[in-house]
Amino acid sequence: MKRILVVDDEEVFRKNLVRFLSDQGYQVSEANDGQMALEILRSQDFELVLSDIRMPKVDGLELLQTVISERPETAVILMTAYASIDTAIEGFRTGAYDYVLKPVTLEDVSHKVENVLRQIRLRREVHRLRRELRQRLGFEGIVGESQAMQRVFELIEQVAKLPTTVLLTGESGTGKELAARAIHECSDVADKEFLAVNMGAMSPELIEAQLFGAEKGAYTGADRNREGIFQAVHGGTVFLDEIGEMPLEAQAKLLRTVEYKEILPLGASRPVSVDFRLVAATNKALEEMVEEGTFRQDLYYRLNIFRIELPPLRSRREDISPLIEHFATRHANQLRKPVPTFTNEAMKALIAYDWPGNVRELSNVVERALILTTDDTVTLDHLPVGCGNTMKSSPTSLSKVVEEAERKHIREVLRVVEGSRTQAAELLEVDTATLYRRLKKYEIS
């Protein structure tokens, strides 16, 4: 039975609403102001809070912010008079699921409650399916519930079992090595070696010896035979990060190694067969480097067979909150400190920031905040100046807010029903023609 908390200082209206919702089959509790509601919420679980905005002590917006901070799994519907509709819209932007204008009709309340509870069910189902997907694929360390990251996971799943060479692209700090490890862990050679090599950190004079090996006496200081990376991996995965930093001469040797699965160690007279799976990564535009003559075109075509683009963090802001939770837990364990909570202002600032260093920068900022905090609460004062003063404005018109909510809701419903537009239309309670128009409007494929 779904549990609902009704919060309103008008006793007659509150009692009538409680009685009506109880008759609808819900388990309903009540509070006569926001302060009482907070006390109840801190001791009991509810699927939905139906709250007036104008109340003494703690008003509806303050209650909403606390629910979002302390009970993010609980939905909130705000009730307000027409004169305060701007306040209701502000609440909608802050995180309320919906709002009802007073004087309310019981039928309108019933319809709103049903819709919000349906959204909660769908959202929980989406989260369950995504958790199962991540668990099934073993994406250790990769956190992402956005559509962009779900697409990355799908591509990893498609290519992992194949011996195909993979090229990972994206800005620095987007998690390309984690994606490479996920490909290896989901492959048929997961029990073999995974060797990561950062081409930008290797000495140009020693790159060939490190990658392809060297015979004793091949160069000054080579006092013994040296096994290269491609030999050492023994049927596993070689991850070449920052592939754009590789010198042209080494690129020619890599091309032959990829095409024929054999290497010629420095000083050797005969090639040596090797067995490996190659994943390469770059934060540079290899196409431009090909035009400039700094990257071999034939090698580019050989690497670019299956390409996965890692999206920047600023284009998937919905992943920032779960990433913060992930890093807060991880760093708290490392620092032997309690997992902190983040104030609403701090969380908003982190979500609004553009993150030029992407996920890596976010991890560093969270770790720094944990070091600075002394009371297990992260505030704006614990964040770097750049994160705390770049709050971005949200859409202010009601139409934009509604459109964004509708776009996200349709995407989630489609994911739950695995793309079936007929089933999606039924869940959304619209005809298929209306759904197709919405898909076209919001450019949802």
Tens of pLDDT, residue by residue over 278-327, are 999 999 999 999 999 999 999 999 999 999 999 999 999 888 988 998 89
Each residue's pLDDT tens digit, 215-229: 876 666 666 788 889
- Identify the CA nearest to 284 among candidates 276, 293, 299, 295: 295
pLDDT category at 442 given cuts 50, 70, 90 is: confident
pLDDT at 395: 42
Domain 3-125 has CATH 3.30.70.20: no
Give per-residue burial for 95-124: e unless 16+ CB within 10 Å, then b.
Answer: ebbbbbebebeeeebeebbebbbebbebbe
In sequence order, what are the residues at sequence separation of 6 or more whose Cβ sits closer than 8 angstroms to the Cβ of residue 50?
Answer: 4, 5, 6, 7, 17, 21, 76, 77, 79, 109, 113
- How far are the Cα atoms of 260, 377, 383 from residue 340, in angstroms, in the given order? 53, 5, 14
- The long-range contacts involving 411-418, CB below 8 angstroms and separated by at least 24 positions, are 411/147, 411/444, 412/122, 412/123, 412/126, 413/122, 414/444, 415/126, 415/129, 415/150, 416/122, 416/125, 416/126, 416/129
Half-sphere exposure of 173 (CA within 13 A, CB side): 13
The whole-number average pLDDT for the span 53-67 is 87
How far the first Cα of the chain sits from its last, in Å, is 36
In the block, residue with structure tokens 């190659």: 278
Ranges of each domain in the chain:
3-125, 140-309, 314-388, 398-441
Q: Tokens 């290899």 identify what position? A: 286
pLDDT of residue 51: 92
The residue written with tokens 């609004």 in the block is 352
Q: Is the pLDDT of residue 58 over 90?
A: no
pTM of the model: 0.58
Asked if 416 and 129 count as a contact pair (C-beta separation under 8 A), the reply is yes
Closest by CA position to 235, among listed 167, 177, 188: 188
pLDDT, residue 126, reads 66
Angle at 224 between CA 218 and CA 230, to 5 degrees: 75
Scan for tokens 């992407």, then name that residue. Answer: 358
Tell me what pLDDT residue 414 has.
Answer: 84
Same fold, 314-388 and 398-441: no
pLDDT of residue 291: 95
SS3 state of residue 342: strand
Banded model confidence at residue 393, pLDDT cuts 50, 70, 90: very low
Which CATH number applies to 140-309?
Answer: 3.40.50.300
pLDDT above 50: residue 155: yes
Cβ atoms 251, 286 nearer than 8 A:
no
CATH architecture of 314-388: Orthogonal Bundle (1.10)
What is the arithmetic mean of pLDDT over 387-407?
56
| Strands 98-102, 75-81: pairing kind | parallel
**pLDDT tens digits along 326-352:** 899 999 999 999 999 999 889 988 988
Q: 311 versus 436: which is more confidently predicted? A: 311
Q: What is the pLDDT of residue 375?
A: 87
Joined tokens for residue 94: 């802050």
Mean residue pLDDT across the chain: 86
| 118-132, 148-162, 234-248, 345-359: segment of lowest average pLDDT | 118-132
Q: Is the per-residue pLDDT at 427 higher than 80?
A: no
Residue 281 · residue 231 · CB < 8 Å: no
pLDDT exceeds cutoff 70 at 181: yes
* Rg of the chain taking only CA atoms, in angstroms: 28
Interval 143-159 mean pLDDT: 87
Per-residue pLDDT, averaged over 425-430, amounts to 78
Distance, CA of 361 to CA of 390 (rounded, Å): 16
pLDDT at residue 57 greater than cutoff 90: no
Fold of the 398-441 domain: Arc Repressor Mutant, subunit A (1.10.10)
The DSSP-derived string for 144-156 is --SHHHHHHHHHH
Let me know: does 251 contact 296? Beta carbons within 8 Å: yes
66-80, 179-193, 315-329, 420-434, range with the lowest pLDDT: 420-434
